[in-house]
Structure 1
């Protein structure tokens, strides 16, 4: 999936300002998620179209659909071991499988009747879901909430071997846009195009034979 870009202010005027919203770039079959790594891990992934080398499959890794949330997390590529930003295109059915089968990272009595049951689900699940405050280009919290999904174990291996369709190193683009942030030139800021995500499948339907 080829990334598309547009002016930040133009996009911002169309975005929701509150509530839990999956902001993403996607088409009929794919959705873009973001991760940031050190140069060695990221270069391997971008070259080979999958993770390997120094990448650890023993830890949980987190994917983010929202570019600005990724920029907040990585400091626009300035934080240690997050210097290289990857735009990873994955299958939409895989993304929705992860979302619908995730266990929340934090206990909520509104979603789980029993704390002990939630703890058991956390121990047994390969997938986590977390809603965090979204952020503006300068890192300030917004009222809108952004999603991130954590994966490990067999789900992470399946993600790496079957669900990724393309990996693009966008760190040069990040560096260019960081200059606009550093110079407070918000009117010139360009970002990947994003819109609220609309689910393609019914969560009650078996999406994938994994």
Structure 2
């Protein structure tokens, strides 16, 4: 049985992949520069998600306005764990949440068809005071997954879920760490 709160992600010994959906103008500029640049906003929280299928649900497979481009953001595990160690749950004390540099919320994980599952996926909000660190120090690479997402979505729509699933990034349990144990044992 899958634990209620467990981080699952594409990761290796030194990096983890998180996903974000953007308007083409933001994605194109970022991909050209190899990192986020204007018109990406450095003045507001940016949410990163290690669950590919959760982002597919959220962005409607890259069809929602302003979320047409899907980027895989490979970041250092050191940065990921630092962000989580600085995080507070959005369901916590409102005063602590308001002043926290990083927010975490747990939302129901999604199936390929968008159905809510019985376990949760982590969403991490990097606050504006850490965004430059995220962009300039933690990001290793950006990859445009939009063509892959469009192909998978077309396969899903035409009843070829098994073929579509072969296009999904591989995700496995991210090892627990004392840096973020405070986020795993509490509610969504």
TM-score, length-scaled by structure 2:
0.90
Residue 34 in structure 1 maps to residue 19 in structure 2: yes
Which residue of structure 1 lines up, in the alignment, with residue 179 of structure 2?
Answer: 203
Report matched runs for 1:4-23 at 5 Å. Answer: 17-23=2-8
Which residue of structure 1 lines up, in the alignment, with residue 186 of structure 2?
Answer: none
- Structure 2: segments with no counterpart, 5+ residues: 181-188
Report matched runs for 1:1-150 at 5 Å. Answer: 17-107=2-92, 118-150=93-125
SS at match of 2:19: strand
Residue 193 in structure 1 maps to residue 170 in structure 2: yes
Bigger relative CO (Cα 8 Å, ≥ 6 apart):
1
- Structure 1: segments with no counterpart, 5+ residues: 1-15, 108-117, 205-210
Residue 181 in structure 1 maps to residue 166 in structure 2: no
RMSD: 1.4
Aligned equivalents of 1:18, 1:136: Cα separation in 2:
16
SS at match of 2:129: helix
Query: Would you identify which runs of 4 or more consecutive aligned residues in structure 1 move more than 6 Å?
Result: none
SS at match of 2:16: strand
Conserved? CA contact 2:84–2:179, under 8 Å: no
Q: Deviations over 1:186-207 (max 9, x none)?
A: 12122101101114x5429xxx
Q: Deviations over 1:51-90 (max 9, x none)?
A: 1121111111100001000100100011000000000000
Conserved? CA contact 2:48–2:123, under 8 Å: yes
Conserved? CA contact 1:22–1:147, under 8 Å: yes
SS at match of 2:130: helix
Residue 163 in structure 1 maps to residue 173 in structure 2: no
* Alignment coverage as a number of residue pairs: 178
Conserved? CA contact 1:49–1:166, under 8 Å: yes
Conserved? CA contact 2:106–2:121, under 8 Å: yes
Conserved? CA contact 1:57–1:152, under 8 Å: no
